[in-house]
Amino acid sequence: MFTDQHKDPFEERLVTALHETGGEFDTDRTALAARGAARGRRKRFVRRAAVAGGTASVVLACVGGALVLRPGGTATEAVPSSMTASAKPKPSVTATPATGEQMIETLKNLLPDGDFSEERGRGTEPTDDLKVPAPYAGLVFDDGDGAAAVEVGVGRVQPGGTEARQAAQCPDRAYIPYDACKTSRLADGSVVTVLQRYEYADRRVDTKLWTAELVTPTGQHITVSEWNAAAEKDKPVTRTDPPLNPAQLTRLAAAKEWRTVANALPEPLPEPELPGSDLHARTNLLALLPKGLKVTDKSSDDGDFAYAVVDDGKGRSMVQVNVQPDMLDSAGDLFGSNSETLPDGTRVAVRQGRGDRADQVMWTVDTMRADGRRVVISAFNAGTQYEPATRATPALTIAQMRKMALDARWWSGS
């Protein structure tokens, strides 16, 4: 059974990060989720990010060189838009609406020979529940080697914007483990990222999720997802791999039929600038780590969130930080009767509990200055939040984390 809202690899990255970095961390989950969502598919997925909850931190950091598209097919760096997101979407010049049935038939015609069942689709027209159209088609496809869920979603993104950049990157393996990921440029200037991973980061089941995410130079955005089971979750594995290999996934995502559908959609809203770009969380985290720790991995982004994996010779330990400049309205939820208030008005809360896995330990020091500037640091007794524990406790002590979180360096450049 498919959900009513089609899945997108970036949405999956976000939702997976929300679920997989969960646990019993009693912080302002909604605020962290919203800030994480701001790095990517804001408009469609912020609501789901807030609902997912239970998150220690939301991580959408990506590794490798980003291929960002502009009209004409050249790769370049994204330039933050000075426009606000308050403008209404404008329809595309060449609009050819598609119904849900047409979306399904198009998908069936583009797939290899086989049997189809559990067909679902949505067209390009807005609905009462979905003001911005999100056309998709989903079905169960059996080529004789086992039933497999296949979905295609179509949208539009700002050329050269954050969403286009995220679609053209492989995810950070510290949070989204995968077997293979490759980003390629097609002859027409489009960029496609093929990701081969598992439905669950900890591989609690052997359901595989393979995706192809394509963005054209003009912002047409096509996502193909397939599983080696008849549904993404709660169905037994039916085959070793999903039915389409990476080359077939790429061809399906690049089919011209989806471009016509994308042209019927409103132009995307201008993207606001990402928050926290001047906070340099990664730079400051690395500078404030106690001496004697070897950094074995670190986040690529240097905004309001960062992580580092450290090793003191006793095992790998992940350390995360989130820096938020204005969280005063959430102070009452974050700092309860067990928190401490320093003479300058800074509030400090310490939490020690388990991580996502039963064998993981997660320690957190949460601080907020009197004006609402917040720094929250968490440390784990494992190198990632989905791997088994590598040590009894995190590599940092609570005292060390507290000293780091209270350091004025976090705000020296803001």
How many Cα atoms occupy the beta-carbon half-sphere of 240 within 13 Å? 1
pLDDT top residue among 73 and 370: 370
Q: Please say if the pLDDT value at position 6 is more than 50.
A: no
Query: Please, which pLDDT band fits residue 153 given cuts at 50, 70 and 90?
Result: very high
Rounded average pLDDT over 283-295: 96
Q: pLDDT digit string (tens) for 11-25? A: 444 443 443 333 333
Sign of the torsion formed by the C-alpha atoms of 17, 19, 20 and 26: positive
**What local confidence, expressed as pLDDT, does residue 277 receive?**
66
What share of the chain in percent tops pLDDT 90?
61
Lowest mean pLDDT among 63-77, 112-126, 224-238: 63-77
Mean pLDDT for all residues in the chain: 80
Mean pLDDT of 133-142: 96
Tokens 């969280």 sit on residue: 327
pLDDT at 97: 82
- Which neighbouring-strand residues pair with 223? 153, 213
Residues 145/229, Cβ–Cβ less than 8 Å: no
State the pLDDT at residue 174.
87
Query: Which H or E run contains 208?
Result: strand 208-215
Share of the chain above pLDDT 70, in %: 75
pLDDT at 394: 98
Distance CA 322, CA 281 (A): 7
Domains parsed from the chain with CATH numbers: 63-263 (no CATH), 281-411 (2.60.120)
* pLDDT band at residue 90 under the 50/70/90 scheme: low
CA-to-CA separations, 59 to 13, 20, 309, 314, in angstroms, rounded: 9, 10, 14, 26
In angstroms, the CA 412 to CA 219 distance is 37
Q: Is the pLDDT at 250 greater than 90, yes or no? A: yes
Q: How far is CA 143 from CA 136, 193, 235, 250, 270, in A?
A: 21, 24, 18, 18, 42
CB atoms within 10 A of CB 140: 23
Of the CA atoms within 13 Å of residue 23, those in its CB half-sphere come to 26
Q: How far apart are CA 58 and CA 38, in angstroms?
A: 10
**What per-residue confidence (pLDDT) applies to 62?**
32
Residue 229 in this model has a pLDDT that exceeds 70: yes
CB-CB contact of 262 with 95 (8 Å): no
Separation between Cα atoms, residue 160 and residue 204, nearest integer Å: 37
Between 40-54, 181-195, 198-212, 279-293, the lowest mean confidence (pLDDT) is in: 40-54
The pLDDT-based confidence of 116 (bands split at 50, 70, 90) is very high
